[in-house]
Structures are given as structure tokens and as C-alpha cells.
Amino acid sequence: MRLALGVEYFGSPFRGWQSQAGGGTVQDALEAALAKIAGQPVATLCAGRTDAGVHAIQQVVHFDAPVERPLSAWVRGVNTHLPDGVAVRWAQPVSDEFHARFSAHGRRYRYLLLNRPQRPGLWQGRVGWFHLPLDLAAMQDACARLPGEHDFSAFRAAQCQAKSPVKLMTAASVRQCGAMFVFDFAASAFLHHMVRNLVGSLVYIGKGVQPPGWIDELLQMRDRKLAAPTFSPDGLYFRGPVYEPHWGLPEPADDFLDGMLT
């Protein structure tokens, strides 16, 4: 039986999602916990790999369960074997045609940026930080230029393995909640470091180093060296993939972030 899981995690203690030599990744922790419940190794596939230090509000994974267990075992049971900072939110049977990555037709990210002179204390590891004042209107103007199909090479990491830099950005916005700027992005898919590179360039615009139209120039020039440096992973949250309704999977419960910001 194929199962889908909704997983949330605080990424700071981990070396990213994807399993690697030496362990220390979210996938390593999850598969070890699943193996405890299944009594044998379990391999998972995820909707979107996240880098070291990046968090997830709803990572979706699927696996083919080698044994039958109640759904509660794949949630509460697995959670008893997971380290702090990782939790399964839900488990749901899906058809064998479902694939966490390939069935998704979009992905969503949020970046939280604390904008005040003092570095974060309570929010350490959970937000990015910039100490100088930022111009919200300028960054909103720049964000409005991002939706559409573009070549995002200027915001692509050198080690990116995507076949094409052309992606469809369906939404890009920034709003302010007190000292916090909240950036939201949705696209068909994202390149490696794409959101962090976008935020870095938007901060350049917000602090007045570049005008909003600089985003248009970067998209046209397609040169990573011309854009701003990659921003910290601390404030980046994978909000989850977007699936067709017929799969019946829960929407990410990320409203708690909004509640914390008001």
C-alpha cells in the first residue's frame, strides 16, 4: 500500500532533506523512524528537497508500506522515534499512481526576514535578519515583476541540477508585520537557492542600492554574478507542494505563522 505523509521540520539541526553519507538529514531521521514501525527498511520520496537550515511547514513524502499498520502508527508511532524538530502531521493512503514529486504541479515558499538593528534572539535560526531600514513599496514593486514564465538563471546556484532555468512564477509578494517582512513565492518549480537569491536581490532594492526595475534587468541578463549574494537559509520555509484536488491531500496548516506575526 502506498502512503503519503505530511511532515514538518525545523531545519537548523539538519544537513538538509536528502539522505547522504554520514547521516544527519531529515530523510535519514524519517526513514529510520519508519523502519522502527515497519520492522524493515523503508525508502521515501519527497515533493521538494530542502537545503541545510531550511524549514518545512508541509513536506510531502510517499512510500510503499511493506507491512500493514493503522494510520495512527504512521503518525504517532513514527513521531515517538523522530528527533526533536521533526514531526509527521498526517498519513493518508494514495493510489500507486501518486508520486510526491511528479504529481505536484507547483510549490510554495515563504521567507521571514526580521528587519531591526538588533540580531534575533527568540527567533534565532527561524528568521533571516537585516539591520538597515527597508522600503516595503520598492520591494513590492520589484515582486510584481516576477510572476510569469522567465529564465531565472540570475537566481540559480552554480550547483543547480535542474534541466532548465525556465520556470513559471505564479505568485510573488512581500508584506510587513511590524519588524518582520514576509515574502511569499509560488512557482511550477524552483531552482537551487532560487528563493534565497531572490530575497537577497529584493533586500538590495529595499535598502536603496538598486531600483525595482533592476529585477527586470537581472531576468534579461540571466547572469548569476550580477545579482545579490545568496541570503541566509534561516528564514526559509517550504510551505508545501500543490496537487490536484482529486488526490485529496490536506492543505498545509501554515496559518500559525500568520498568528505569530500579528
Catalytic residues, by residue number, are: 51
Residue 255: CB atoms within 10 Å? 10
Torsion sign, CA atoms 138, 171, 115, 214:
negative
Answer yes or no: are the C-beta atoms of 230 and 197 closer than 8 Å: yes
Of 127, 133, 131, 189, give the one whose Cα is nearest residue 162: 189
Q: Where does residue 85 rank: exposed (0-12), middle (13-18), buried (19+ CB within 10 A)?
A: middle
CA angle 249, 251, 255 (to 5 degrees): 160
- Which residues are paired to 182 by β-bridges? 112, 175
Of 169, 131, 137, give the one whose Cα is nearest residue 150: 169
Q: Where does residue 114 rank: exposed (0-12), middle (13-18), buried (19+ CB within 10 A)?
A: buried
Q: What Cα–Cα distance (Å) separates residue 153 from each residue in 6, 147, 165?
A: 31, 15, 6
Which helix (H) or strand (E) covers residue 15, if one does?
none
